[in-house]
Structure 1
Amino acid sequence: MGLMLGMVYSVSAQVNFGPRVAVISSNLNVKEGVASVKEGDAEFGYQFGAFLRVKVPVIGLYIQPEALLSQTNSTITSGTSNVDLSFNRVDVPVMIGGKIGPLRINAGPAFSFLTKAESDVSGAVVDIKDNYSNTTVGFQAGLGVDVLKFVIDLKYEGALSEKFGETITAGGNSFQTDERSSQIVLAVGFKLF
């Protein structure tokens, strides 16, 4: 009986699961050289969902998939008009990492599934989801630390695959953007077990 309890404890000590929230700082990139179109400053978005961390004791690494609902915004100035863009996605990063002292170092692919994309020019909201790919692949890399039951990570995310918008028109200009902008992610999770 003691051996079975020891085995159950050993397995549970190798798996962590819990909720996760994040603040994102992102900037949408204009992909064409249109003279009167300017990219806006980085804007904040958010993510929330869950993470699962599985430790692989033989090699000293862990695998941490996450499932997150994300919302990001960007503003682009075209002529005298501001174009407000918003994107809702389901993001699934799969981080592989290890520990060096108290720090965790991790990196891995990040899969993104677009659920909603809209542009707002002077109060006219237009669905632009068809201008973008439904799925894209990016990468994340960063550092983290575990404090008590809290999981804290600072990561950079970039694009590996891109799909440009066919056309977004505002202020008399048509331009293309990259929906998967580079972003900084500050995330906090809580280990339920």
Structure 2
Amino acid sequence: MKTSKYLFLALILAIVTTSGHAQNRNFKFGIKAGANLSRLKGGDVVSSSDPNVKIGNTNASLTGFVGGVFVRLGSSIYLQPELLLSQKGGTVNIFRSSTSSMNNSSVDLRFTNFDVPVMVGLRFGDFFRINAGPIASLRLSENGGLRQALNEVGANSVKDNYNSAALGYQAGVGVDIGNLSVDLRYEGNTSNIINADTDDANFNSQLKRKGSLWQATVGFAIF
């Protein structure tokens, strides 16, 4: 946890320092906005007292907003740090079955993050780009969906441990048309973004989840 926070602060410092020494001919500053299509993934949590009750994954994705600013340093090879407000999340599956009936429902888990990706890119010609790099995410807020999900399957109380800072990576392609930039990226986490314990004896394992998403954005270079 502490390592994630230190790296997050180091990435912000690198953005500020590098921007201050940029050459104008190889420097762009702009704004960008778009959408995330995100999912959560991880192992099932099964009730020790009733194996027919479990919390698992779904194939559903959540759509959220992403937007912020970017700096691009360089031309054919470039560095692009960004500061973004990003809505992410996913769904968990609540599965309860018996000999006579089945009940299957899902609960949305939504997060608002402050993201700092630092992309290294290659430009091919005047338009096409590829890029990849690390991303640090600082959790700003989350909904109460996880507590609701565990309560639905009989947990009396929940100890939340949402990781406030998580590490990951992004990779994708982009196209530049004048001052406009269009990007499509994939993002994955290298650390869990959810580690949730229940104090109820019926559930003797943690609910752990990593996140992944597809992100599409449109940017405009102000100068």
For normalisation by structure 1, the TM-score amounts to 0.78
One-letter amino acid of the structure 1 residue matched with residue 207 of structure 2: Q
Question: Within the alignment, does 1:65 sit opposite 2:81 as a pair?
Answer: yes
Q: Is the 8 A contact 2:159 2:198 kept in 1?
A: no
Contact 2:44 2:54 in 1 (8 A): no
- Structure 2 partner of 1:39: 57
Secondary structure of 2:196's aligned partner: coil
Distance across 2 between alignment mates of 1:132 and 1:45: 19
Distance 2:174 2:144 in 1: 35
Q: Deviations over 1:1-41 (max 9, x none)?
A: xxxxxxxxx93221111111121111111333536434231
**Equivalent pair of 1:139/1:159 in contact (CA under 8 Å):** yes
Structure 2 residues not aligned, in runs of 5+: 1-21, 47-52, 96-102, 152-157
Percent of residue pairs identical? 34
Q: 1:93 aligns with which of 101, 107, 117?
A: 117
Q: CA deviation at 1:130?
A: 4.6
Give secondary structure in 2 for the equivalent of 1:161. Answer: coil
Local SS of the residue matching 1:181: strand
Q: Is the 8 A contact 2:175 2:182 kept in 1?
A: yes
Tell me, yes or no, if structure 1 residue 152 matches structure 2 residue 182.
yes
Cα distance change on mapping 1:117 and 1:157 into 2, 3 Å: same
RMSD: 2.7
Which residue does 2:167 correspond to in 1? 137
Q: How do 1:73-112 residues align onto structure 2 when only pairs under 5 Å count? A: 73-79=89-95, 80=103, 81-101=105-125, 102-112=127-137
> 1:106–1:21: structure 2 CA closer, same or farther, 3 Å change rule?
same
Higher strand share: 1
Structure with greater helix share of residues: 2
| Corresponding letter in the other structure for 1:107 | A
CA contact (8 A) 1:53 1:63 kept: yes
Q: Deviations over 1:62-92 (max 9, x none)?
A: 1100000111232222134532211111000
Q: Which amino acid aligns with 2:82?
A: E
Name structure 1 gaps, 5 residues minimum: 1-9
Cα deviation digits, residues 33-56 of structure 1 (max 9, x gap): 53643423112111111011011x
Q: Is the 8 A contact 2:89 2:211 kept in 1?
A: no
Partner of 1:20: 32
Which 10-residue stretch deviates more, 68-77 or 30-39?
30-39
SS state at 2:23 partner:
helix
Per-residue CA shift, 1:111-170, capped at 9, x if unaligned? 111111223338x9xxx895121111101111101012111111111112225422369x
